[in-house]
A and B are shown apart, each in its own frame.
Chain A
């Protein structure tokens, strides 16, 4: 009987085990990560999401684990301001193709920035009362997200021309294959967003938030996008709208020292409207790991090694100024020596007053994206192209030249007596080259002027250090849509010629 009782107990034990193992709730596990469902319930979470949009800009400026991965050459090299003796695709054009890893990375990063902005826009619009506690912060967040979404579309237009517009968050498989945009649709989206952003953004931020976009940033970029659009459409209305936007800029001024626009210790100054806030990750800013990798070691820096011939170039030739740029400056223009070394054309902006990150390979010196001098010259262009006052246009150029000369005499003011708009246009083009050389603006300008038939581009125009390798063609006014998109999205149309 004793054995029997023992068996009963054992059988019971097994029965319990079987029942226990049937408990399906053990399958309901949670990942050790916050889910979207549980997020966006506090203002700080919105704040982090907004900063996440800005953080994506790191991808436009970091070393990216190799000088062949860094996307800066996409904007630096095609212009006639910067050249190199390396057979870089964006220098010689002939080998730019849809499989380019750098184009693909740039394209993806821009859309990722736009997607982050779209999430914030969706969440801020839907936010319940009581979550925002700081006055004005909700509007500011919406404004920042709209601004950065606009900046993304602005970049897409300048680089790819026909990339799809993305003005909402993708939430369904059916929304994944948009068609290409055409004309200035990308700019139009940017203009719409910037117009709204300008009404939402604060005029200034406190010191701790220095570097965030403001009303001035929005109006500046809005005007710039309108000038770019006007270049294509030829419509005076676009230029006039640009002037209206520029006129709303308040409190910005040219800094006395031209070089302060490219120095590590004078970031976010009075002239600055928008900068990428390069710094070093507090642990060890690792230029081989992306911003998205980790907080302590993911890169937060910008790479100026192309200009400084940093050791991370590993023998690859540096980027230098073109002879054309060196010859452009009037004798005695102080900008020349601050921009380049006339002896060897080594480029000096950003790297003559630089501060490296811990690795010594990248920099904490902010890339300036939009500054007041650019606005002044653009405004001159808008006036000139919309039958505005030539005197006012030339005076705007003279403001820039006055600052440039500092205490010297050169460059002398341009005569306000010039009335030939074609001549003024040329002066504007020259001034933009001298003032903005090597800041990633030049090819965007050349491209829109060529598309608007204001100039004709040819191999000689680029003044390359390796003219025999150069093979510019009209198709290069739009870089190819990367295969990463065309391979997956059957509705996209590749740009002509690729």
Chain B
């Protein structure tokens, strides 16, 4: 090793001094309109010598004859000019389009776009800035082929679902995020355990990354691209690169936007008189329950509430004109020795429902320094502090279905709100605060819901009197040291760390029991005098990565070689601490702490460790930019598996052929084809995220409890901790493996104005880790993780771009289209399971919708009699009436070992459930249209998904017409079957639902396809000639935009993406400035 270094040093010391220095001058102009371009960077290639063009586009630079000048400017194509004998070099620069020379981050390196062999989608900072979302995931929505991003809700800290090329497993299917080379990890992110998910907190940790700080996003979609990330890459990899400085004078970028959001729709509900008559009818329709009609619905009863006004709960919950603010400033620059970038940002978004907001403060620094010719070092640190208010505690559908007679406000109540429940409290003689289980000072009884069985919690009182908030502090950064002992040989050591500290603070006023639909005894958990309970919960994530990479790059004539080897050690630790107290004696927010106050305190802690070792190598070869070959291999060891099953090796290969570089092609004179490349790849990667770890161990659960010693007047006894062995240990578990095959082509056509990429992909997942519920006779409680399923995703992706200038008009368009065909090819013993929000079964897509099929609605007694003569219904009471639904008898009782028996048996029972729809969209797309005219620019962005169905659970509540909790119903129930009013789609209203009309059926399954006008933006850039006079301001762009302006869909609800916490329609005003 040392020898090599010594040789390298000698070589470097022989660096010759060539030529004589002189100066060159010139003017840089914009090729489209001939105006001068200030601020263009002009560098002597291979050095840090250079200058920047002045406000009138002129420059002077010292050069030698052999030098090459590199002209670069954001938004323009970089050009190189050999100086030669010239003393004046005027240059007109072209605005950049989809460029072959565009640099793409590929993971452990960068590469020009023309040299890519794997399937990689990218987007740059300009596209990212158009989004008003606080996280980078939503900025990716609809922008890249093969990348699906859902809009989770109108809650700014909700986590979007991101799926790359279909869904490869019915377990955790999120991609791996790598920020500036740091593979992220978040504790419990893949845990199916609700408790863990709760401790993890609902905050989207990606919202700690300020989209303004992002330079580019690359998505590695196939194994040949992603294999470099081994066992964590099977769901694809999203590489996020943050901005860094460039040599030259200091630059300041300023972005400011402010937006207002509203919800486009709300539910149309029955008013109080209609509600009353509706439920009276529903009770009358069920003779056996008619007598149980709540007193509040009985007109003759003093408790009758039908004369009350109608209260609008939705109106109270919607956060009207909810603001979004986002400000960021960045200072960057550097010298030939070092570059820097420092940025700060502040943003705040309120949710579309009240009591919900997210604020973010970010600081980011990035420094790179060349210590000398051989050594480079750099450091990046991103600091982020998020505050989230999470008091909403309800959703739009819940409040919409509140009985319309239930008021919200009561001026006579000290809180100002109307209480939901009353109860009787009687002193408890056996209360003893010195015991571990002290009991309660008063016992609760006669709990009464004031507004009938449908009484809703007064969520507005809870929002006002209780609080629930999160703060998340994150430090994400790395330092590296790189030695380049030989030209082309780089040895780099990197240490990275990501620390997240999440703190939840929760305050619950005991008096809010009155506002609850399910009130508890406010005297429990304290000595009877406390005012409320308070808890703090910390969740801490530490992810450390140390890595050594050796990279060697060599060109021998037309043979270009690039080798990479690396070793990586990654350790994760997720820890949590929870402390809460029932004994908080004051409502003063300043006095909310957890005192050392047994027996009224509760505490728990826990931790989950993980470790990963990875070794990787990549070899890349290309001949003259014509033939390309890449091979990657990674070997990973993961702590989550049993010894002997820990290590896996993941290979991948890819190749490309740039046909357009061939002599014969050029002879064909197909001048409309500027570049054409075919590429293909194969690879295998792993997925360790789907195991929760330690499946090979039988663990002891200490959560069961029992009580002993009650009697002789004591009803409680003493609670004693018990134990159980809930698991079946599986020693053989190993990771899922995803094999991908990818081929396609990239083309540039019509004088580079059209770019076109089309790809076919196939991803086969083998050994999906399935948490199998063993047959209940085993008594094994926990699900047992087994490698027992296979899935295949296939599809095509098309990405099309067009960019052309017509005089003063510029026009650009880009579109992407992805199809996904998802099929489960194997499950445990061939048996279907319930997973991924639906059913998982061989031959069907993951998580498909499974249920009964509606046959029709009985219109008269004769139809009922005819049907009953031939059929029986195993779910309902078999006392069908006109207006009830009859369901289809598709199948019979399967013989043991078979899943189905396709011979109908005239009995409608669970055997007859069938495929009703799929939840993975069959295709999705995005289309951006843009234009420029002089200083004006406009962009219009459509996004959509198709071939997808969803169970409309909001409608299933709003049109259930049967619940004894008498929820308010959608006004659409006015179209129900009543005898006079016939309907073939909506059954009669009948409380108790004796015919089980509401069984899970296609009645509520709908087409969830949509196309949205996601974003429109109109901007105006103040002419450079005007700005030049300021001598400081380089660029100012003002813009106005709209988000989610309209949606085309057949969905029967508020929004096909979220009916409960609806997404917003936004109007945005903003400013981008560069100094």
Partner-B contacts on A (CB < 8 A):
3-4, 7-8, 10-11, 13-15, 17-18, 20-22, 24, 26-37, 39, 45, 48-52, 54-56, 85-87, 92, 94-95, 97-99, 104, 107-108, 111-116, 118-119, 163-164, 166, 170, 175-178, 207-212, 264-269, 277-284, 291-296, 298, 300, 310-317, 355-356, 358-361, 364-366, 465-466, 468-469, 471, 482-494
Contacts and interface: CB of A to CB of B under 8 A. Distances in A.
A150 B504 CA distance: 47
B319 to A, nearest CB: 29
B704 A488 contact: no
A387 to B, nearest CB: 39
Contacts of A211: 707-711, 717
A282 B610 CA distance: 34
Contacts of A39: 700, 723
Contact of A49 (B646, B722, B774): B722
Q: For A28, A50, A51, A492, which residue has the most chain B Cβ atoms within 10 angstroms?
A: A51
Nearest to B779: A115
Contacts of B707: 211, 277-279, 300
A87 B994 contact: yes
Contact of B548 (A14, A315, A489): A14
Nearest to B572: A29
3 tightest A-B CB contacts, nearest first: A115-B779, A315-B453, A315-B964
B874 interface: yes
Contact of B704 (A268, A277, A292, A469): A292
15 contacts: A11-B1, A14-B493, A27-B611, A27-B646, A31-B608, A31-B699, A32-B608, A95-B996, A97-B875, A166-B778, A170-B728, A170-B778, A207-B709, A315-B452, A488-B829
B715 interface: yes
A55 B715 contact: no
Contacts of A113: 779
B1071 to A, nearest CB: 46
A310 B447 contact: yes
A271 to B, nearest CB: 12
Given A26-B571, A300-B707, A315-B966, A7 B778 contact: no
Contact of B703 (A7, A294, A466): A294
Given A85-B289, A176-B778, A358 B725 contact: no
A492 B781 contact: no
B714 to A, nearest CB: 8
B711 A268 contact: yes
A277 B717 contact: yes
A86 B290 CA distance: 10
Given A4-B6, A107-B776, A112-B781, A87 B717 contact: no
A20 B569 contact: yes
A279 B423 contact: no
Interface string B896-920: 1100000000000110000000000
Given A21-B569, A489-B777, A268 B710 contact: yes
A210 B708 contact: yes
Contact of B292 (A85, A112, A298, A310): A85
B206 interface: no
Nearest to A484: B776
A483 B996 CA distance: 19
Contact of A27 (B292, B374, B639, B720): B639
A278 B709 CA distance: 11
B946 interface: no
Given A35-B699, A52-B724, A279 B717 contact: yes
Q: For B436, B778, B877, B996, which residue has the most chain A Cβ atoms within 10 angstroms?
A: B778
B699 A282 contact: no
Given A7-B2, A34-B699, A310-B447, A164 B715 contact: no
B291 A485 contact: no
Contact of A489 (B518, B720, B775): B775
A293 B703 CA distance: 6
A34 B444 contact: no
Given A210-B711, A314-B453, A292 B697 contact: no
Given A49-B723, A52-B722, A292-B704, A360 B444 contact: yes
B896 A210 contact: no
Interface string B982-1016: 00000000001010100000000000000000000
A36 B725 contact: yes
Contacts of B706: 51-52, 54-55, 277, 300
B455 to A, nearest CB: 9
A361 to B, nearest CB: 7
B777 A163 contact: yes
Interface residues of B, number: 124
Contacts of B423: 360
Contacts of B702: 34, 48, 295
B602 interface: yes
B613 interface: yes
Contacts of A27: 611-613, 637-639, 646
A212 B518 CA distance: 33
A356 B639 CA distance: 47
A114 B524 CA distance: 34
Given A17-B548, A311-B449, A315-B454, A33 B715 contact: no
Nearest to A108: B776
Given A97-B909, A489-B775, 18 more contacts: A10-B483, A11-B2, A31-B693, A32-B606, A36-B725, A45-B723, A51-B705, A85-B292, A95-B874, A111-B778, A170-B780, A177-B775, A207-B709, A277-B710, A292-B724, A465-B288, A469-B877, A489-B777
B779 A87 contact: no
B475 interface: no
Interface string B492-526: 01000000000000000000000000111100110
A95 B908 CA distance: 10
B568 interface: yes
A315 B292 contact: yes
Contact of A283 (B602, B708, B725, B879): B602
Nearest to B730: A173
Contacts of A485: 775-777
A488 B705 contact: no
B992 A86 contact: yes
Given A11-B2, A292-B726, A31 B896 contact: no
A265 B693 CA distance: 47
Given A292-B704, A293-B703, A358-B520, A316 B719 contact: no
B876 interface: yes
Contacts of A8: 2, 5
A284 to B, nearest CB: 6
Contacts of A33: 694, 699-701
B715 A279 contact: yes
Contacts of A108: 776
Contacts of A97: 874-875, 909-910
B867 interface: no
A494 B366 CA distance: 68
A284 B439 CA distance: 10
B624 interface: no
A295 B454 contact: no
B715 A355 contact: yes
Contacts of A98: 910
A281 B443 contact: no
B611 A26 contact: yes
B705 A359 contact: no
A89 B2 CA distance: 82
A18 B548 CA distance: 7
Contact of B779 (A36, A166, A366, A489): A166
A99 to B, nearest CB: 4
Nearest to A19: B567
B979 interface: no
Given A279-B715, A355-B715, A356-B443, A35 B288 contact: no
Interface in B418-445: 421, 423, 436-437, 440, 443-445
A315 B286 CA distance: 14
A471 B992 CA distance: 18
